[in-house]
Amino acid sequence: MRVLPGSIFSEMRTLLALILTLSLSGCTHLFFQPQATEYLTPDRIGLHYQDVYFPGSEGQMLHGWWLPAQGKAEATVLFLHGNAQNISTHIASVYWLPAQHYNVFLLDYSGYGRSLGTPSVAGALQDINSAMESLLQRADIEHDRIVVLGQSLGGALAIHYVAHSPHRENIKALIVESSFTSYVDIAREKLDAHWLTWPLQWPLSLTIDDTYSPLPVVSKVSPIPLLLIHGDQDKVVPLHHGQELFAAAQQPKEFWLVPGGAHIEAFRHKHYQERLVQYLQLIFAPATSQNTQH
C-alpha cells in the first residue's frame, strides 16, 4: 500500500472538508466570512461617531457606525463592505469622507461584528433596506441626498438593492468598486483556481442561488447615476467583471479603471478620493450649474 506524502494527505483532507462544507452550505462561506472581533473604533483614528443599533432581516439587532460630516453635510453615504471581517477593518475605505463634508453610515450585515444573526444574500439585502430606513428616520440628514457605496460583495449587494429599492427616490448615486457579475461566475472562478477544487467548479456551482446576482439587474439602476471602479490588477475579482457590469448598465454611467490597482484599493489613494469628491459635487450640483458645465 502506497503511503501518501504528508502534504498531499493534508490537502486531500482539506478537500474532503471543503466538499462537505460547500455541499451543506451552498457555498455560502465563499461569500460571507464574518468576524466578531472589533479591531478599532473610529475615535482611535480621530473621528467622532455614534454606535447605531436597528432591527435586521430576522428581527435581530444589527450594528453600524454613524460618522457625522465635519461642518455642513453635503450628503450621506451608506457604505456596504466586502465579504470578510467587519466595519472595523473596512472603515479604511471611507474614514476620509467626513472631512470632505459627507456623513457616512457603515453597516455590518447579520453575523458581522456586533450584528446578530446568520449572513445570507437575501438577508443582507434586507439588512441594507433596514439600514436605509434607519437613515430615513434621522432628522439630521437630507433624505434626498443619499449615496450608496459598495465594495466587492457589498457592491454586488448594492446593485441589486438599488435596482429594486423601495427608496430609490432617496438615492442620488450608486458607487461600486471591485464587484462581480454573478455569484455563480465568481464561485466557479475561485474553484477553478486550485487543482484540488477545479473538478468541483461545475457541480458545486449548481448549489449556488444566483437569484440576486447584479448582472441581470444592473440596467435597472438607471436613471440613478452609476459609477463603477475596478483595478486592472485585481486578482480577487478580475477586471472583466467590472467591464461586463458596465457594458450591461444604462446611462448615466461612468467607469474608472485603476491602473496597477488591486482589490478595493482605489480609495487608499488621495487622487481617487479627490476624484470621488468632484464626482459627487457634480451629482449634487443644481441643474443650472450642470447645464452650464456641459
Say if CB 215 and CB 242 are below 8 A apart: no
Q: Is the pLDDT of residue 110 over 90?
A: yes
Confidence of residue 121 (pLDDT cuts 50, 70, 90): very high
What digits encode the pLDDT tens for the residues 256-266? 999 999 999 99
Question: DSSP readout, 196-263?
Answer: TTGGGHHHHHTTS--TT-SGGGGGGGTTS-EEEEEETT-SSS-HHHHHHHHHHPPSSEEEEEETT--T
- The mean-pLDDT minimum among 15-19, 63-67, 197-201, 285-289 falls in 15-19
Higher pLDDT, 254 or 9: 254
Query: What mean pLDDT comes out for the span 81-107?
Result: 97
Confidence of residue 187 (pLDDT cuts 50, 70, 90): confident
- The mean-pLDDT minimum among 6-20, 72-86, 105-119 falls in 6-20
Confidence of residue 128 (pLDDT cuts 50, 70, 90): very high
Query: Residue 117: its pLDDT value, please?
Result: 93
Q: Is the pLDDT of residue 26 over 50?
A: no
Q: Is the pLDDT of residue 207 over 80?
A: no
What digits encode the pLDDT tens for the residues 142-152? 999 999 999 99
Q: Is the pLDDT of residue 129 over 50?
A: yes
Q: Report long-range pairs for 257-260 (Cβ below 8 Å, ≥24 apart).
A: 257/230, 257/231, 257/232, 258/229, 258/230, 258/231, 258/232, 259/232, 260/231, 260/232, 260/233
Q: What is the pTM of this model?
A: 0.87
Query: Residue 22: its pLDDT value, please?
Result: 43
What's the CATH superfamily of 40-179+216-293? Answer: Alpha/Beta hydrolase fold, catalytic domain (3.40.50.1820)
Q: In the chain, which segments carry CATH 3.40.50.1820?
A: 40-179+216-293
What is the rounded average pLDDT for all residues in the chain?
Answer: 87
Query: What mean pLDDT comes out for the span 107-136?
Result: 96
Query: Residue 5: its pLDDT value, please?
Result: 44
- C-alpha 192/C-alpha 209 separation (Å) is 19
- The mean-pLDDT minimum among 12-21, 57-66, 140-149 falls in 12-21
- C-alpha 285/C-alpha 147 separation (Å) is 14
Query: Residue 223: its pLDDT value, please?
Result: 98
What digits encode the pLDDT tens for the residues 131-181? 999 999 999 999 999 999 999 999 999 999 999 999 999 999 999 999 999
- C-alpha 13/C-alpha 7 separation (Å) is 10
